[in-house]
Amino acid sequence: MNASTDALSTGALANSSQVPAELLDSIEVGIAVLDRNFNVQVWNKFLENHGAKKAEAIIGDSLFSHFPEIEEKWLRTKVDPVFNLKSPVFIIWEQRPYLFKFACNRPVTCAAEYMYQNVTMFPIVDKDGNVERFCMLVYDVTEQALGKQGMEHLNQELKTASRVDGLTGLFNRRYWQERFDEMYKLCVRRDKPSTAVMLDIDHFKRINDTYGHQAGDKVIKMLAALIKRCVRETDLAGRYGGEEFAIILNDSTVEDARIVAERIRQLAQRLVVEHEGESINFTVSLGLAQFCSAFKGPLAWLECADKALYDAKESGRNQYRVYDTSQR
């Protein structure tokens, strides 16, 4: 509750006819007084201007008959403590963006369609100590709400930027490694099969030397998009460096991984990257290593997949190889 709220004591509103009209109409807060049946008794200029409802048109009527967007059952339940406990009730925009569907009064500069509102409702106690009416204060908090949302959006963008590789949209190496370390620990605890896959683009230097680095970037982006299509949300895919990618196929045996690896290999082989009138074909090699409890740590697991990748390249490229974990 801000200073404007403090200036309006419960006593001052106990007899609304004694409240100067100038005060009710000059304050930049919506002020309404309602009885137990939610019939309107006071409706100030702020509410007139934003609600397009003149006081003479709404006073004596039910609030719900003029604002059908308000859920009657919900609001009656919300206001119960005001009457039964003589306790104030607060509605904040984070819980419900608005009570009244007022249009934003800054349509050119405001990104919101409707006014964000904080609402305070407090009892008006009569001289006998009874509560037959309550006061509703409506605050326009649109600027604060949009500012907070903008900051949260910016923080989310910064968070994403710190995790994602700018070229491919896959996880960058640092964040991928963090997640991989967590998945390794989970594999140790659960002793369930998961398989690491390392892959890179065959003769990538030749592509860069022949067609230029922009063409190489296009190839990397297209391969990354292909990888995204071939893995599940529960898997972990990232750009490990340059033209090299790393994938953890969660809850997948090496036999399951063979299917995924072969799909990636075949689809990559069919891809054609167009760059400045040139058509570029490429292939990939892959190395697979299933989790083994004998691994000394996550790095050891990844090294096994990398050794299998080396074997695939040594065997002629455009293929996958599986690390034999029985060697450990």
CATH number for the domain running over 164-327? 3.30.70.270
CA dihedral in degrees (299, 301, 305, 307; nearest 10)? 70
Prediction pTM value: 0.59
Residue 85 scores a pLDDT above 60: yes
Hey, which bits of 107-225 come out as E strands? 117-125, 131-140, 195-201
Its CATH class, for the domain covering 3-150, is alpha beta
88-112 per-position pLDDT tens digit: 999 999 989 999 988 876 654 556 6
Question: Residue 195 in contact with residue 252, Cβ under 8 Å?
Answer: yes
Choose the most confident range, by mean pLDDT, from 7-21, 104-118, 140-154, 190-204.
Answer: 190-204
How does pLDDT run across 4-14, given as a tens digit for each residue? 333 333 333 44
Task: Judge whether 3-150 and 164-327 match in fold.
Answer: no
Q: Quick: pLDDT tens for 206-235.
A: 999 999 999 999 999 999 999 999 999 999
Tokens in use for 76? Answer: 């009656």
Give the model confidence (pLDDT) of 178-187 as tens digits.
999 999 999 9
Distance CA 179, CA 279 (A): 36
**Other CB atoms within 10 A of residue 61 CB:** 14
* Active-site residue (options: 22, 143, 243, 278): 243
Ranges assigned E (strand) in the chain: 30-35, 40-43, 89-91, 117-125, 131-140, 195-201, 236-241, 244-249, 273-275, 278-280, 284-290, 320-322
| Domain ranges, ordered by start, for the chain | 3-150, 164-327
Please say whether the beta carbons of 20 and 28 come within 8 A: no
213 to 45, 76, 258, 276: CA distances (angstroms): 65, 66, 31, 12
Q: Determine whether 243 is an active site residue.
A: yes
Helix 173-190 vs helix 298-314: crossing angle, to nearest 10: 110
Q: Per-residue pLDDT for 18 more than 60? A: no
